[in-house]
Structure 1
Amino acid sequence: MTTTDFKLRRDPFGRLVLTDANGTVHEGVSPVRAFPIQAPDEGLALVNSDGKEVVWLDRVDDLPAETAALVREELAGREFMPEIARIVDVTSFATPCTWTVETDRGVADFVLRGEEDIRRIGTDSLLVSDTHGIHFLIRNQYTLDKHSKKILDRFL
C-alpha cells in the first residue's frame, strides 16, 4: 500500500483511525519509527492495536500535509527523548553521580548509575539512560562545547 492509498483521522476519543484503499477501517493505529535516532522521519510503520503493520511509510514528508501533521503529533505525544545540548556539571566522576544538563526541553538533573548507561549509537551519537529509564540523546558528541566534551570523556 502506498502513502496515498489510505486516509488518516482522529476519532472522538483522540485515537488515530486509518481507512485503507479497500475501505477497511483500522482503529487505534500508532506510528512506529524504524530508526528513531538515525533517520527519525524515514521508515515508519502504522501498526494496529495488535502491533501488526497496516501501512509502511518511506518518509513522513511524502504524506499530504494534514496526514503528516497527524503522524508527527502522535509521535510527539508518545515519545519523550530530550536531546542534550550541554553538560553543565556532574557531582562526581565516580558513578552513581548526578548530571546537570541543558536539553532541548530545558535544564534537567538525572542520576547516572554507571558508565554502561552511556551507549554509542552510530559513530557520533550517544544514548544516556538515567535511573528512571529516561533516555537522553546526544546527537553528535563531537559538536558539544569544550566543557561538555571534557566531562563526557571521563565517562567514555
Structure 2
Amino acid sequence: MSLPTTSAALPAFTLERHASGRLVYTGADGVPRQGVTPVRAFPVSAPEAGLSLVSAEGHELVWIDRPADLPPPLRALIDEELAHREFMPEISRIREVSTFSTPSTWTVETDRGETTLVLKVEEDIRRLPGRRLLITSGHGIVFSVRDMGALDRASRKFLERFL
C-alpha cells in the first residue's frame, strides 16, 4: 500500500512497506528508494520536533518539520519504524545496586520487564531537563528515567549516590 503526502508544506512523496519489511520512498522524481530510515532530529529532548527520511546510503531524502501534520496512515508507518529503531526501556524502579562505586551491577524494573545492567562509570548517567535521566549500560543499551521524582524513595536514594 502506497501512502502519499498531501500537505502543501511537504514535497510530494509516497512511502510504503516492501514485502521484505523495508520502507520504500518515492519522491517527485518517481524513483523508488528501498531501505529508507526515519531519523529524528532530537529523539530525546524534542521527539516531535522534526525528522528526516534517510536513504540506505545515508542521504537525506526529505525533511519533515512537523511529523504530527502527516496523514495518519503515513504517520503510523513512520512511528512503527521508529519504534523498532529507538529501543529505550524506561526504568520504573531500581531494586538493587551491587556497590556504590563503579563498575556496579543494577537490578531494575522497566516497562519491558526486570533486567540487570552494568554501570561502568558514573558519567554513564546523563541528566536531562525536567528531572529526566539517561543511563547507558555497559552493553550500550540506553535506559530512560522520565521523572526521577516519580520513582519510589529507595530508587531515588540509589540514584542520588551516583549523581
Please give the per-residue CA displacement for 1:118-155, whole angstroms capped at 9, x wherever unaligned.
Answer: 12233522111111111111122232222111110000
Please give the per-residue CA displacement for 1:2-57, whole angstroms capped at 9, x wherever unaligned.
Answer: 44621110112111111123323222110001111122232111011121111111
Match of 1:145 in 2: 152
**How far apart, CA to CA, are the structure 2 residues paired with 1:103 and 1:58?**
31
Identity of aligned residues (%): 54
TM-score by length of 1: 0.91
2:49 aligned with 1:42: yes
**Structure 2: runs of 5+ lacking an equivalent:** 1-7
Q: CA deviation at 1:94?
A: 1.8
1:80 to 57, 76, 87: 87
TM-score by length of 2: 0.87
Match of 1:53 in 2: 60
2:96 aligned with 1:89: yes
Name the amino acid aligned to 2:42: F
Pair 59,88 (structure 1): closer, same or farther in 2 beyond 3 Å:
farther
2:161 aligned with 1:154: yes
Secondary structure of the structure 2 residue equivalent to 1:111: strand
Secondary structure of the structure 2 residue equivalent to 1:72: helix
**Structure 1: runs of 5+ lacking an equivalent:** none
Match of 1:131 in 2: 138
Match of 2:3 in 1: none
1:3·1:62 contact (CA, 8 Å) conserved in 2?
no
Match of 2:5 in 1: none
**How far apart, CA to CA, are the structure 1 residues paired with 2:60 and 2:53?**
6
**How far apart, CA to CA, are the structure 2 residues paired with 1:142 and 1:24?**
50
Name the amino acid aligned to 2:122: E
**How far apart, CA to CA, are the structure 1 residues paired with 2:65 and 2:109?**
33
**How far apart, CA to CA, are the structure 2 residues paired with 1:79 and 1:6?**
24
**How far apart, CA to CA, are the structure 1 residues paired with 2:45 and 2:113?**
23
Say what the alpha-carbon RMSD is for the aligned residues: 1.7
Name the amino acid aligned to 1:118: I
Name the amino acid aligned to 1:29: V
